[in-house]
Structure 1
Amino acid sequence: MSLLNGLLGNYSQLSPQELTAQYGGFLMPNEAIQTGFRLVRDTFIVTDSRIILVDHQGVTGKKTRVASIDLDSIFDVTMETAGTGFDDSEVTIHYIASPYYRSNNISTAAYKFEFGKKFNVQPFYVAMLTVAQQNKKRLNG
């Protein structure tokens, strides 16, 4: 069923041990993987300091793009649960994309994660929302 979910555009959860074995080379010193999810070839990993987005490109998937979103930059999170029919659950994080969080010219971006309708997105949403609320207090305090 996880392959079918992947083909339909839904992430399936992986263990931190699996993720460390495959993607440990992308970790910074003393960084630890908390959780992660795979979509056929693409993966996103949540560590104690960032979200790592791994995008395997091309026919063979050997070409890989790796991007990071610092947890410190997340300022808002929205969740949409699956409805009837072919709807998926979605969690969208909004984050500061510019390197200076307290400048007058900050740029922001959003990234949407889609999960299968049977996947309970609430724990991921609550974890990201908690990070966002702490960041708002820190940035505006």
Structure 2
Amino acid sequence: MGLFDGLMGNATEAKSEKVSDKLADVLMPQENVDLAFKLVRDLIVFTDYRLIIVDKQGVTGKKVEYKSYPYKSISRFSVETSGHFDLDAELKIWVSSAIEPAETLQFRKDRNITQVQKALAMAVLN
């Protein structure tokens, strides 16, 4: 079911050790991956210090954008769960005093959106 969920756009929890290995060049020394979710080809990664969004682009996914948001710069976030007719759940993240969200992530019929929201709340509000 994990592969099918990934293809359908549902976030699945990723193993922290594997994500740490993939992000070895991006992570600071002594920075640990606390929690990670795979969303099709992309990753949402919670570390000790920041939220990292890995956006694989193009047909082959060779081009990769790493977006890094220190927890202290995240000013607010919102989660919209899916409904009967609107099947997409959505996570929006704002930084500093920005009017528009810096990041908008789409999930389809996702059970893990609440886990992502809880992890984000714990990281930002602690």
- Alignment partner, residue 123 of structure 1: 115
How far 1:52 sits from its partner (Å)?
1.2
Specify the structure having the higher radius of gyration (Cα).
1
Does the aligned pair in 2 maintain the 1:74–1:94 contact within 8 Å? yes
SS of the residue 1:27 aligns to: coil
How far 1:57 sits from its partner (Å)?
1.9
Higher relative helix content = 1
Identity of aligned residues (%): 33
1:2-53 Cα shifts (integer Å, max 9, x gaps): 3333333332210111211222221011111011112222212111111112
Q: TM-score, normalised by structure 1?
A: 0.73
Q: Find the aligned partners of 1:82 and 1:125 in 2 and give their Cα distance.
A: 14
Q: TM-score, normalised by structure 2?
A: 0.80
Mind listing any 5+ residue stretches in structure 2 that lack a counterpart?
none
Report how many residues are paired.
Answer: 125
Q: Find the aligned partners of 1:129 and 1:11 in 2 and give their Cα distance.
A: 18
Q: CA-atom RMSD, angstroms? A: 2.3
SS of the residue 2:25 aligns to: helix
Mind listing any 5+ residue stretches in structure 1 that lack a counterpart?
97-105, 135-141
Asked if residue 88 in structure 1 is aligned to residue 56 in structure 2, the reply is no
1:41-99 Cα shifts (integer Å, max 9, x gaps): 22121111111121222222222221211111111121112212461322222112xxx
Any residues of structure 2 matched to 1:51-70 within 5 Å, and which?
51-70=51-70
- Alignment partner, residue 19 of structure 1: 19
